[in-house]
Structure 1
């Protein structure tokens, strides 16, 4: 019976994690960055590495490596109207799928998935594809983002300015 309860707990936890990831995608497409900030654990890290294989984000060059303070500053720039990314922001539609549960220990869940973003700006559509890893805290029953790593499939190539959150 204990194994059945553990399996049910893992299924429910996995489903809640996927719901959080889909909710995050919706908020980012709607440019509801304030609500997106509220999804994060204060100690969480948002990372877009250049090296597709790195795990040492602090010691390597990244497109983004944001703690809470840097996420807040990024959102402030994007919503202020003074930066190019705010005044002429791309419209995005993203699809997140291929979910796999990498780890489910105690109150921390790690989910890997894939993401396709279509960004439309000035009459041009651009596709961004990435492998995602979300670490989600389930402490106190409320899921919170602890880490999000976006591994763009073309991260080592020259990329046009990405004026939105991935």
Structure 2
């Protein structure tokens, strides 16, 4: 499946790409509650520090969120009590370079590149990452089983990345 046109005509891949673009739209619009609905209850959101990490439970991460931690993150982002939330950056995400890493009957792993431009107080900040989505297709609608955001500068000191989701 190296040909992009063949990939896009593949039903589960096309559905996955549309889903990932929709997720980016929800996050840029700060619709975090709807974002929570995209997840499988057993799913994990991970932003590893080590770019080569695979055992996320045994390594230090910027984020390693199960359902409970995702809900707490969204509560923090929407409560208005945190100064970083009341003056939250506006973001624009571009997600591209989609490839299928693996596919089973009810699961698809899609890798992509993501660039986020965050604008706050007259300053635009750029975040770039390789992103891995593992999507469950069992319920008819995709659900995120795992999302790994591998920032290209993850080993540097990073500020204000709580909105990355």
TM-score (norm 1): 0.93
Mapping of residues 1-166 of structure 1, within 5 Å: 11-166=10-165
Q: For 1:2-38, what per-residue CA distance to the aligned partner results, in whole angstroms no more than 9, with x for missing partners?
A: xxxxx89x81000000011000000000000000000
Structure-2 separation of matches of 1:160 and 1:51: 17
How far did 1:86 drift?
1.3
In 2, the alpha carbon distance for the partners of 1:45 and 1:163 equals 15
Moved over 2 A (4+): none
Unaligned runs of 5+ in 2: 1-5
Aligned to 2:3: none
3-state SS of paired residue (2:10): helix
SS in 1 for 2:161: coil
DSSP-derived class of the 1:141 partner? coil
Q: Secondary structure at the match of 1:44?
A: strand
Unmatched runs of 5 consecutive residues or more in structure 1: 1-6
Deviation of the 1:84 alpha carbon: 2.3
Distance 1:58 1:140 in 2: 27
Alignment coverage as a number of residue pairs:
159
Measured after TM superposition, the shift of residue 118 of structure 1 is 0.2
Greater gyration radius: 1
2:59, 2:152 → 1: CA distance? 17
SS in 1 for 2:139: helix
TM-score by length of 2: 0.93
